[in-house]
Amino acid sequence: MKRKIIKIDEALCNGCGLCAAACHEGAIEMVNSKAKLTREDYCDGLGDCLPACPTGAITFEEREAPAYDHAAVLAAKAAKEKAAAPLPCGCPGSMSRAIHRDEAFPSPCAGQVPSQLRQWPVQIKLAPINAPYFDGCHLLIAADCTAYAYGNFHQDFIKGRVTLIGCPKLDEGDYTEKLTAILAGNDVKSVTVVRMTVPCCGGIQRAVQNAVAASGKNIPLRVAIVAPDGSIQ
């Protein structure tokens, strides 16, 4: 049948993955760092992915394509949710807790630099929305590669802040909704974003900026950009 469907210009795609996150039907996937329409029958032709694309790589076209299969989309969503469901006992590694550094055991190795981490978990996807440590905190939201590229990450960024990390290219979905809930529901004093220079890392910055705006609060926002050689841009 001939119908309206999206078209992705691979030459314009920067691999940020925001369109795949915005596609609620799961029609778009990232393949070799490029967005691909992998399931034409999952594309409803409504274009939720268009405004998410920062480069204008996505447009509409009218052509022969399989009909939109709503039942298949629902079945795929149900299968994905089932696969992602936590074990009944829960994951001990994701249990939320504050870390009080004055109560921590001293480093067993002489000269070892102490950690400045103040809470667990640190993954954006695992963090509870209303954890007590969010109230009155200065929040650090970092792309996970930054801690490896920047040698003094604990002292310069983690110290004195509650830390959340993620990778907008590898993590499924958009962080905006979760971060908006955290900022709207807690008394966060400031937000610092640390990202890499690579274009796809801009996704975490945009998610934070959108979350601050959606929270309805005037929260100070600072962005630091780290190059692969460890320098700050």
Can you read off the two tokens belonging to residue 130? 């209303």
Can you read off the two tokens belonging to residue 7? 């078209």
Beta strands in the chain (DSSP E): 2-8, 28-31, 34-37, 58-64, 97-98, 119-120, 138-143, 162-166, 190-196, 221-226
| Model confidence pLDDT, tens digit, residues 103-159 | 444 555 556 778 899 899 999 988 888 888 998 999 999 999 999 999 999 999 999
Contact 188, 129 (CB under 8 A): no
> CB neighbours (10 Å) of residue 217?
12
Instruction: Kindly list the structural domains of the chain, giving each domain's residue range(s) and its CATH number in brackets, ordered by start.
Output: 2-84 (3.30.70.20), 92-103+113-226 (3.40.50)
In this prediction, residue 103 carries a pLDDT of 47
In this prediction, residue 92 carries a pLDDT of 56
Q: How confident is the model at residue 233 (pLDDT cuts 50, 70, 90)?
A: confident
